[in-house]
Structure 1
Amino acid sequence: MSLYRAETRRLSKRRFTRLFVVLVLLVLGLLAAGTAYSYQKVTPAALAAAQADAERDFQEQVKFAEQEKERCVQAPAEFGGSCDELWVPVREDYRAENYMPSPFDFRESFPDMVITFAALLALVAFIIGASFVGAEWNSGGMMNLLLWRPQRLQVLATKLSALIVWLFGLTVLTGAAWTGLFWLIATFRGTTARMTPGVWQSIGLTGLRGLGLVLVAGAIGFGIASIGRHTAAALGAVLAVAVVFQFGLGVVLELAKVKFAQAYLLPYWILAWMYKSTEVIDDNAPCDFSVTTGCEQPVFTITWQLAGAVFLLVTTIIVGAAMWTIRRRDIT
């Protein structure tokens, strides 16, 4: 059996991998179920019920306004001495659409579901990637494998390739199921109208960027765990980035009044990658006042191309460092 096939099989058979796959599928299923429960398809019966609710509320408010008017006539001093400005309900304020159930609009809502899906799978990909190689270093399995196949770079590259291909397959299959599930939700609990080829293309491109995010997360988790030779090294790095470099760095940058401080924080780059762009406002800079637009402060736009280049650079550095360390350090 080839090394690649052996590593792919080992990754698929690991209980840790299966556990996290089941967990993410469970979370995704709960999200889909919650979405289906929260929305309702607009039917003639639902329209009739909404019209009845609107009419009932209007009549109740009319009755309440008449009672207030009678009280005002009897004691005008309690109402400021005049009854002409008392509130009077208007039928236009009680429209049936305000009482209608909220349908799930596939065109409007599914892109956010794609981003939610990508974020969850990216988190799982990071953990699985870190555990895949970190457990080998921690248990001594890597040392035994290198005794059988002493080509260090080839072994690590094969492991990474098996991980990337496996994550690619997992993301594509679950992404297709995710799309089909929400298409059914929109069919039975909402609407699938206005789904033009351009809309499908936009959703597909969002899905491709989500796939890229998943693969990058898996590769980074794999690289950090390989450098630290333990799964905990990758998880500790995540905590350090979240606590020190995100919250702590954000506070320091704000206190130092650094220009475009939010551009140094990871979430904005992820948002730019998934939403194609995001704007970072320099809150510390004086605004340019305009009569037409008001106060405008400097804005820095992070594009998906720029975010992708940064992610690629970071991934290359981390994976390259993992390759360098396994080549230079002792295997003990």
Structure 2
Amino acid sequence: MSLYRAETRRLVKRRFTKVLAIGCLAVLAALVVGTLLTNQKVGPEAVAAARAHADEDYQNALRETEQQQQACVAAQGTDQAPNFPANCAEITPPNQEDFKYEWYMPATFSFRTNFPEMMFALAGILAMGAFVIGASFVGAEWSSGGMMNLLLWRPQRQRVLGTKLAALLAGVGAFTVVVSAVWTGVFLVVAELNGSTEGMTSGAWQSIMLLELRAVVLVLAAAALGFGLASLGRHTAVALGVTVGAIVVLQFGLATVLVLARVKFIEAYLIPVWAQAWLDKQVRLEDYESCDFSATRGCLPDTLTITWQMAGGVLAAVLVLVVGAAMWTIRSRDIT
């Protein structure tokens, strides 16, 4: 049996891999059920009820404004006058446009509008699972001595580690593609039952497919990152410890320091923003403590746009650093 087939079989047969994969699927299933139960199909009756509710609130606001105006006039020259504006004409009635009927509509699942959010959830859950599986896949062998025994049989160190990584990525990639396809189909059914599939043009489908492709890449990157960290530390706990340290120290701690230092665009130093930019094509950050003056629109906050190309470059650099270091160090490190 070839090394690649042996590693693929070991990945699939591992109990930890099965348990974690089932756990991820259970969380995703709960999300589907929750979405199905909290949304409903919207018909003409729901639209009419929403319009009536919006008009009722508008009429109530008009009556309240009229009562406030009358109370303001009656309070002039009394000890109640400070409770109202000096000029009662400043109490103006609301506009009917301020009571849009769309705000009163029941929750409904629009596939074109809401499915990208579901893909973000899928990518996040599978990426976390892939990271742990990748770390455990190689970390368990280092800590149990299995890697030492394997290298006695196959002394090509880099080839062995590279084959393990290839088997991991192939397995995780296949699983992610299948789950992503099923995920799309399931939410199409949800949209048909309790929502709408309107607006799904060829361009909209192309955008969905590209989003799913970026989600697959993110999951594969998480698996490779966990694999590289565990290989460097020769233990699954090292990868998990580095991750916890990065979240607690480099994220929460760094964010606190940056807030105290009044650094602009604090979110740009945090990992979730880069992941969001990769999936959502771009993220636009605003610094409300600055002023970019415009002659026509006044004082506007400074902005910083993080594109998916920028996020992809950072992701690639991290992977090259971690996985490259793992491949380099195994060349000469003691394996005992």
Q: Which residue of 1 aligns with 2:282?
A: 277
Q: 2:330 aligns with which of 292, 302, 326?
A: 326
Q: 1:280 to 1:328 in 2, by over 3 A?
A: farther
Q: Decide whether the 8 Å contact of 1:283 with 1:297 is kept in 2.
A: yes
Runs of 5+ in structure 2 lacking a partner? Answer: 82-89
* CA positional deviation for 1:254: 3.0
CA deviation profile, 1:173-213 (whole Å, cap 9, x unmatched): 00001000000000010100110000001111111111111
Give distance in 2, aligned partners of 1:224 and 1:183. 38
Q: 1:155 aligns with which of 160, 167, 174?
A: 160
Q: Decide whether the 8 Å contact of 1:288 with 1:295 is kept in 2.
A: yes
Q: Which residue of 2 aligns with 1:101?
A: 106
User: Could you say what secondary structure the match of 2:231 adopts?
Assistant: helix
Q: Residue type of the partner of 2:294? A: S
Residue 246, structure 1, aligned to residue 288, structure 2: no
Q: Which residue of 2 aligns with 1:32?
A: 32
Q: Decide whether the 8 Å contact of 1:4 with 1:159 is kept in 2.
A: yes
Q: Which residue of 2 aligns with 1:195?
A: 200
Further displaced range: 233-242 or 273-282: 273-282
Q: Residue type of the partner of 2:306? A: I
Q: Decide whether the 8 Å contact of 1:260 with 1:283 is kept in 2.
A: no
Q: 1:135 to 1:198 in 2, by over 3 A?
A: same
Q: Which residue of 1 aligns with 2:220?
A: 215
Q: 1:5 to 1:295 in 2, by over 3 A?
A: same
* CA positional deviation for 1:3: 0.7
Q: 1:64 to 1:14 in 2, by over 3 A?
A: same
* CA positional deviation for 1:291: 4.0
Q: Which residue of 1 aligns with 2:316?
A: 312
Runs of 5+ in structure 1 lacking a partner? Answer: none
Q: 1:230 to 1:42 in 2, by over 3 A?
A: same
Q: Which residue of 1 aligns with 2:84?
A: none
CA deviation profile, 1:31-56 (whole Å, cap 9, x unmatched): 11111111100235545766787799
* CA positional deviation for 1:24: 0.6
Q: Which residue of 2 aligns with 1:234?
A: 239
Further displaced range: 87-96 or 154-163: 87-96
Further displaced range: 180-189 or 299-308: 299-308
* CA positional deviation for 1:166: 0.6
Q: Residue type of the partner of 2:190? A: I
Give distance in 2, aligned partners of 1:301 and 1:58. 39
CA deviation profile, 1:193-245 (whole Å, cap 9, x unmatched): 11000000111111111111101110000000000000000000101110111
Alignment of 1:37-76 (within 5 A): 37-44=37-44, 46=46
Give distance in 2, aligned partners of 1:278 and 1:231. 33
Q: 1:227 to 1:102 in 2, by over 3 A?
A: same
Give the TM-score of the pair, scaled to structure 1: 0.86
User: Could you say what secondary structure the match of 1:195 adopts?
Assistant: coil
Give the TM-score of the pair, scaled to structure 2: 0.85
The percent of aligned pairs where both chains have the same amino acid is 54
Q: 1:295 to 1:31 in 2, by over 3 A?
A: same
Q: Which residue of 2 aligns with 1:122?
A: 127
* CA positional deviation for 1:58: 9.2
Q: Which residue of 2 aligns with 1:136?
A: 141
Q: Which residue of 1 aligns with 2:300?
A: 296
Q: 1:290 to 1:328 in 2, by over 3 A?
A: same
Q: 1:110 aligns with which of 106, 115, 121?
A: 115
Number of corresponding residues: 326
Further displaced range: 98-107 or 252-261: 252-261
Q: Decide whether the 8 Å contact of 1:54 with 1:99 is kept in 2.
A: yes
* CA positional deviation for 1:289: 2.4
Q: 1:9 to 1:99 in 2, by over 3 A?
A: same
Give distance in 2, aligned partners of 1:242 and 1:168. 25
Give distance in 1, aligned partners of 2:52 and 2:301. 49
Q: 1:172 to 1:59 in 2, by over 3 A?
A: same
Give distance in 2, aligned partners of 1:306 and 1:122. 20
User: Could you say what secondary structure the match of 1:112 adopts?
Assistant: helix
Further displaced range: 246-255 or 211-220: 246-255
Give distance in 2, aligned partners of 1:191 and 1:282. 37
Q: Which residue of 1 aligns with 2:85?
A: none
Q: Residue type of the partner of 1:112? A: E
User: Could you say what secondary structure the match of 2:330 adopts?
Assistant: helix
